[in-house]
Amino acid sequence: MIFDITADLPDGPLLLEASAGTGKTWTLVGLAARLVAEFDVPLRHLLVLTFSRAATTELRGRLRRRLVSVADDIELVLAGRDVTDPVARHLASQPDPQVAVSRLRHAVADFGSATVATIHSFCQDQLRSLGVLGDWADDEVRAELRPLIRQCATDEYLRRYLEEPEPPFDPRRALGIAEVAAGSHLELVSDDREALSYHRAVREAFTRRRRELGLVSFDDLPGRLRHLVTDSEVADLVCAELARRFPFVLVDEFQDTDPDQWAILRRCFVERDDTSIILIGDPKQSIYGFRSADLGCYLEAARIMPKQTLAVNHRSEAGVVDGVRELFGDLELGAGIRVEPVRVMRRDDQGTLVLPDAPSARVWIRGGAHSEQQITEDLVAHTTALLTHGSIRVGAEQRRLAPTDIAVLTRTRGRALALVGALQEGGVPATFTGGDSVLHSPAARDWLALLAAVAQPTRGKVMTAALGDLLGVSFGDLLSEQDETPASRRIHEFGACFAASGVSGLVGAVLDDLAASLVVHGDGERRLGDLQQVGQLLLSRPARTVAELHSHLERLIQHEELPEQLASDVPAVRVGTMHGAKGLEYPVVLLPQVSVTEVNLRGAIPHVDASGSRVLHVGTRPSHRDPLAALVKSQCREEELRLLYVALTRAGHLAIAWHLQDRRSASGPLTALLSRDRGRDDLAREYPRLPQRFPFDPRLVDTSSVRSSPWREGTPPPASASRPTLRVSRMGRRVDPDWRRTSYSGLTADLHEHAPDEPDLDLLPTELSGPLAEPSPMNGLPAGARFGTLVHEVLEQVDWSRHETRLPSLVTERAPRLGLDPAQCAQLASALSRMVTTPLGGLFDGCLADLPVSSRLPELDFDLPLGTGGATGTVADLARAMAELLPADDPLAAYPGRLLATEQASARLSGLLTGSIDAVLQLPSGGFLVVDYKTNRVPTLPDQELAVGHYTPDAMAEAMMQAHYPLQAVLYCAALHRHLAWRLPGYSPQRHLAGVGYLFVRGMAGPATPVVEGRRCGVFEWRPPAELTVAVSEVLGGDRG
């Protein structure tokens, strides 16, 4: 059934099957406009998903523009004008079209509430926002976890085989497979039981270590949310909550879905009666198997959901559409997928291509090449001919083809870069457009680490470089205790190469023989290409020292700058990869690298097994006669055929593909199209020879040999014609070099070596006796920032008045990620229960458990403008204010002098101060108390347990000053002062500021916590004068200096 965007919309799920050029994104944003205008769906209840950051940015912009244009077009229709948008015409025909316009205008004004996201960022946002349901504790999301995988793989290999004279498999191959297997969510399979056991153990160790370290990769996010919505005890609650938030869901590029993502969509939206979801995809464009995209997910959706088709091509001339259909015929591209016929309906302003004396077909095949060099020369010749003689006619007007009208699309980055150089040498301006920048890849980080080691070969930097791809060292080398290792020798050799031959000598030495060490990896070709491309970037600029070269690469990464031959705004032929071009369109597309199917059987092998499940083979390398090898080759060729379909259909007017005839091309995608028996649906395993004649209609597909010249000779365009006159830009305004976004941690970062928020304290240990010797309730529990974060999370979420019942379950939910066992969980819950029942002394006549939840504001985040009063203060001004206004007997009276003596005292307070107060408590007296939790440990004597008596008032005062907590406290008080001044009627600093309580939780043991000199151990009470808080606020604002 063909989809009509103006027909009645379904109440439940719908799958829209598209073809290239049929307007997937146009349809999706049109549906969104209908939902908003016709069905009054607020943008906050509409979820729009796609599968890359670049696509998300484009989709967000197109959605906003469509909302605006539909509203404008409705008003034009009402004014008697004609418009082309069927959605606008449909809405204008409704009973009250002005209501639709009003809803669309309101949606544009409220566009910030729209959720347009990648599915990974959607998963991350939902995990964060689901609170305790989300199994999320501010884990750090990282794109790159290979070093941790390598550590886990090394540890497991040595644990198993250190004493084995002949380990069962090579450690380098094991590492290469482990990098893929540990980071993948696919089921691991192998006939080799030992290899399977090893890689499962590495994956388990990697999972455990990530949880302990609080690390999450982007690919983990869908898996976490999938677990919540399918397998957890709270699955029904989470699904209901997500359906409540997003009753309307639109998903673009659905063919790129993996099993985790599909499970989330199916469970939360497809299978429910209270949601409406529309999935749009083209299975012929499923080309991301190497990123775990699973065509089986699309096929399953097609089985269980109603399906309609988008059947009108708006991109390409009829000659391109019919030529592609003729080339593919009824060939199956995997799982019953075929190139179906579509109608062509193009706008008048898209024009037609004019090529005098050229073949009338708009798909050309150039064959007979026996080397890539032949193809390169023929491609350059055709490009110059097109630029010399080609033009595009729009109505009565005609314009010459420009370099920007032509795209050269390749399989690999390396081939693309070589063609950029060849085109430039032939006088044709060309630029590399590589999709995701190689500067974001692990290759750039590997080069950065290597250059840092060559510039300064310390052991730590050499080890860091050794974890990347560029040194190719062994496990044993990483563990060596010797001063000189193979890795350090390589680093010194690279330094000598730079000294002798400069940048080119260094880059050449590093890249030599690199292919051999990467070939064992499943993605070795891509990684090699990335490393080579970064190497070319380094060659783009001379450097006198390796440190200068390192700085150059750092700047490139930081500012995403590419040299002119790789990123240029001048009119030039665009050269990029076929994967990177997906979703784009060009008037003319040239395809020089579509003859070979690359199949890597050396490393981990993803494939679809006989049951239809996508799995990962981690065993020994299969022979070419192994059924697994045949299966993988067949599936790789199916994906290569889909990639060829994607590449051909980028063309609006003309597509030219070159065929390379050699031993590698026998199983290639273009070879299969040229050689197959068109009377059969299946393909032979290989086609060693091409037929003498090709069975294509010459009016649709033109075939010719590279031995013949292009239809006309061409001349390169003059270089000066495409280059505008440039002038140096001048900065016409002053930039404040002191302006920055900072925090307490930022202000104190240079005041102690590592500047953690809760460092161990440098106090003199003391002998204790009596009640002071009471052991800390947290003895035996971990230390460090991650443990502190756990304590903060629990104290933030627990209802203190119900601590006895809520603390055990809350700790049990949160603590396993830190590696705490059940006994430690019980101890932590007990310790925190004692903490919240510890009397707060002079701060408040009671304990935390006596305060209702309504009297507590947890995690008060603030952003305070600095220097808004026309001047900027300094940290020294804060210190002087404290010295002036603190009483002489104040427990922190010595702190201002210490702060003034630091180098940080001269730091200017300009920009924005950000922070988060652990809790603000409203006391029964009406005052507001700042509370901060600290898990710091203090020194003890040898064989002495940490005791509550180590947290006496004097010890805590010294600890406060050592860690610069008084500065943090006055900043927090100033933030609270400003907040109350804005929000509390009748606010008075003297009456409403109740002071500060720093709670050292390891020293709080419940009601029996000892009292020293009238103050409770573990509870640091401080009442800075209200005048000081006001003065600090004025210094921050630039009103006092």
946 vs 1018: CA distance, rounded Å? 12
Per-residue pLDDT of 419-472, as tens digits, reads 999 999 999 999 888 655 667 677 888 888 889 889 888 877 887 788 777 876
Residue 976 clears pLDDT 90, i.e. is over it = yes
pLDDT at 471: 78
State yes or no: 653 annotated in a binding site.
Answer: no
196 vs 966: CA distance, rounded Å? 56
The confidence band for 570, taking pLDDT boundaries of 50, 70 and 90, is low
Residue 56 clears pLDDT 70, i.e. is over it = yes
Torsion over CA: 476, 478, 484, 485 (sign): positive
User: How far, rounded to the nearest angstrom, does the alpha carbon of residue 902 sit from its chain's CA centroid?
Assistant: 39
Coil, helix or strand at residue 655: strand
Q: Does domain 740-1037 have CATH number 3.30.565.10?
A: no
Beta strand pairing call for 911-922 and 856-866: antiparallel
Query: Which residues are catalytically annotated?
Result: 932
The confidence band for 474, taking pLDDT boundaries of 50, 70 and 90, is low
Domain boundaries, the chain: 14-134+221-310, 144-217, 318-436+571-722, 438-559, 740-1037
pLDDT at 583: 86
Q: What fold does the segment set 14-134+221-310 form as a domain?
A: Rossmann fold (3.40.50)
pLDDT at 722: 47
State yes or no: 25 annotated in a binding site.
Answer: yes
Q: Percentages helix, strand, coil for the chain, rounded to the nearest 5?
A: 50, 15, 35
Cβ–Cβ under 8 Å, residues 298 and 286: yes
The confidence band for 973, taking pLDDT boundaries of 50, 70 and 90, is very high
State yes or no: 21 annotated in a binding site.
Answer: yes
| The CATH homologous superfamily of the domain defined by 318-436+571-722 | P-loop containing nucleotide triphosphate hydrolases (3.40.50.300)
What value does the mean pLDDT take over residues 57-79?
95
State yes or no: 702 annotated in a binding site.
Answer: no
Residue 757 clears pLDDT 50, i.e. is over it = no
- Nearest one of 576, 598, 592 to 658, comparing CA atoms: 592
State yes or no: 888 annotated in a binding site.
Answer: no
775 vs 767: CA distance, rounded Å? 13
Q: State which H helix or E strand residue 195 sits in.
A: helix 193-213
What does the block give as tokens for 119? 């599915």
The rounded radius of gyration (Å) of the Cα atoms in the chain is: 33
pLDDT at 695: 84
What value does the mean pLDDT take over residues 910-920?
90
In this structure, of 544-553, 668-677, 751-760, 979-988, the range with the lowest mean pLDDT score is 751-760
Contacts (Cβ under 8 Å, ≥6 apart) of 817: 137, 139, 211, 212, 214
Per-residue pLDDT of 130-160, as tens digits, reads 865 666 655 556 656 778 888 899 999 999 9
Residue 68 clears pLDDT 80, i.e. is over it = yes
Per-residue pLDDT of 996-1012, as tens digits, reads 999 999 999 999 999 99
pLDDT at 137: 55
pLDDT at 567: 44
State yes or no: 932 annotated in a binding site.
Answer: yes
What value does the mean pLDDT take over residues 681-691?
84
Percent of the chain with pLDDT over 90: 55
State yes or no: 22 annotated in a binding site.
Answer: yes
Mean per-residue pLDDT of the chain: 87
State yes or no: 1006 annotated in a binding site.
Answer: no
3-state secondary structure 747-810: HCCCCCCCCCCCCCCCCCCCCCCHHHHCECCCCCCCCCHHHHHHHHHHHHHCCHHHHHHHHHHH
What value does the mean pLDDT take over residues 13-25?
96
State yes or no: 23 annotated in a binding site.
Answer: yes
pLDDT at 441: 73
Give all strands of the β-sheet with 430-432 in edge-to-edge order. 430-432, 573-577, 406-410, 586-591, 651-660, 363-369, 701-705
pLDDT at 480: 53
Q: What fold does the segment set 438-559 form as a domain?
A: PCRA; domain 4 (1.10.486)
pLDDT at 205: 94
State yes or no: 918 annotated in a binding site.
Answer: yes
State yes or no: 20 annotated in a binding site.
Answer: yes
Distance (Å) of CA 822 to CA 234, 750, 829: 21, 39, 11
989 vs 1025: CA distance, rounded Å? 9
Domains 14-134+221-310 and 318-436+571-722 share a fold: yes
Percent of the chain with pLDDT over 70: 90
Per-residue pLDDT of 224-251, as tens digits, reads 899 999 987 889 999 999 999 999 999 9
pLDDT at 534: 85
Per-residue pLDDT of 348-396, as tens digits, reads 778 899 999 999 999 999 999 999 999 999 999 999 999 999 999 998 8
Per-residue pLDDT of 269-304, as tens digits, reads 999 999 999 999 999 999 988 777 899 999 999 999
The confidence band for 918, taking pLDDT boundaries of 50, 70 and 90, is very high
387 vs 719: CA distance, rounded Å? 13
In this structure, of 115-124, 361-370, 818-827, the range with the lowest mean pLDDT score is 818-827
pLDDT at 690: 85
pLDDT at 720: 46
Distance (Å) of CA 819 to CA 208, 212, 289, 601: 8, 6, 34, 37
Residue 74 clears pLDDT 90, i.e. is over it = yes
The confidence band for 835, taking pLDDT boundaries of 50, 70 and 90, is very high
